[in-house]
Structure 1
């Protein structure tokens, strides 16, 4: 089967939630570079939407935790582009919080952003994609926390584990018209790396990752291009690990120290 250029997204339309900064902006730029029309969203107006090669993403303000707003975002993309081929559920995150004392409102917000919003958006996208001859692709951006919880992340971990399970459930129900896949992202070096990983911006953390560095946003973006493209036309319900091999187990580090140099 001749699939032509598997990284050519000309004529296709993409939504990237949380696409105004960090990982989301890198994903948006990757799809723009590949020829796609891209719509990004966020709760606040960005200084400028992502650009690449003289092309710019479109922006809509949206709090995707609201199911009506999520539906309106998808409808807005279809109205603007006439179709929807790819949805990247990237919006997410949470500050650390003590599970013993965290408020119910905090838990509800974290679960709403990291699990419920992707569900609402995927439902709306599926209604559009299943009617298209070419179907569509949904990509959920998850976290290593879903597999290996860290202290202070109970609500976030639970939501991300749910997102992985949701991915597999939707992949079963919506194939073959709509493929649904998941990316397990490890620590990513973004503008907020210093506040999250310390003054060295994650340099010490890179020493316990087999690839010897934290991920760059573009590492996640390129994985999205693969999963959304024709090279992955039979990939459905997958969990693609983009974490550099994971982190060395604590027992290894305790006994042997840092990973040996390559």
Structure 2
């Protein structure tokens, strides 16, 4: 098992990509801290699945857009599980709006969750590692839209573009502490955030035509790359984005 004796904190871990990563990490031997907005049945089910694999699991409620919450989440994870070795910044939202119509509240919410949350979770995590005298791994779940324009989702693209530059900066700044920082950029993945798309063939089929592999990705496709980046196999990998998109990014054509 590639992550045995590791402890990982995953934000937005109750569903979709975050849940898949948490479960895959547990299968690889890691104990898991789940950061969720609500300790609801989805979180409880994820915890049950992790514990059924023989791993410890802590559920930590906190809104990543609030700095006090993210610091409490990291402190709670360390208190309950003893340490942290891996951070997965997965929590994210998107708001569809024409640029001329987007509200300040929607802009703030997207940037606060997607970018500010990852920024300050990483800060709290890196502080814990520095104070513990250990290195570790930061994995950001970004998007192909850190590179690819996405009309009507400008705030989302801003947040993911910012995450790319944050990753590149922190890979350099945190390297002396033995902390690697990398992004995973998923393309079109079967997750709850894409539920509307999956129910509308008139939207889904043109998208599939843009993907050379002619299918949507599964959360497990992203989780497999996350395991690699969290493992010793990736100890010399930092400052990079791994694209998981079936070829979409290099084949996409604006309609």
TM-score, normalised via structure 1 length: 0.88
Q: Which whole-Å CA distance do the structure 1 matches of 2:86 and 2:241 have between them?
A: 17
Q: Which whole-Å CA distance do the structure 1 matches of 2:134 and 2:246 have between them?
A: 33
Q: Which whole-Å CA distance do the structure 2 matches of 1:249 and 1:14 have between them?
A: 34
Contact 2:2 2:232 (C-alpha < 8 Å) held by counterparts: no
**Structure 1: gaps (5+ residues):** 1-6, 255-262
Match of 2:245 in 1: 243
Note the alpha carbon deviations across 1:12-69, whole angstroms, 9 max, x for none.
1100000000111001100111111101122122312411471363211110111111
User: Secondary structure of 2:142's match?
Assistant: strand
Q: Which has the higher helix share?
A: 2
Structure 1 position 205, deviation (Å): 2.2
Q: Which whole-Å CA distance do the structure 2 matches of 1:219 and 1:180 have between them?
A: 20
Q: Which whole-Å CA distance do the structure 2 matches of 1:224 and 1:214 have between them?
A: 18
- Which residue among 17, 31, 45 is the counterpart of 2:25? 31
Matched, 1:64 2:67: no
Match of 2:184 in 1: 183
Q: Which whole-Å CA distance do the structure 2 matches of 1:46 and 1:24 have between them?
A: 15
Instruction: Quickly say closer, same or farther: Cα 1:132–1:202, change in 2 above 3 A.
Output: farther
Contact 1:130 1:178 (C-alpha < 8 Å) held by counterparts: no
Q: Which whole-Å CA distance do the structure 2 matches of 1:49 and 1:131 have between them?
A: 33
**Structure 2: gaps (5+ residues):** none
TM-score, normalised via structure 2 length: 0.90
Structure 1 position 145, deviation (Å): 1.3
Q: Which whole-Å CA distance do the structure 1 matches of 2:204 and 2:130 have between them?
A: 42
Contact 1:115 1:160 (C-alpha < 8 Å) held by counterparts: yes
User: Secondary structure of 1:40's match?
Assistant: strand
Structure 1 position 194, deviation (Å): 3.3
- Which residue among 207, 217, 220 is the counterpart of 1:218? 220
Instruction: Quickly say closer, same or farther: Cα 1:20–1:152, change in 2 above 3 A.
Output: same
Moved more, 79-88 or 193-202: 193-202
Instruction: Quickly say closer, same or farther: Cα 1:192–1:159, change in 2 above 3 A.
Output: closer
Contact 2:187 2:248 (C-alpha < 8 Å) held by counterparts: yes
Contact 1:78 1:84 (C-alpha < 8 Å) held by counterparts: yes
Contact 1:86 1:228 (C-alpha < 8 Å) held by counterparts: yes
Count of residue pairs brought into register by the alignment: 246
Instruction: Quickly say closer, same or farther: Cα 1:113–1:192, change in 2 above 3 A.
Output: closer
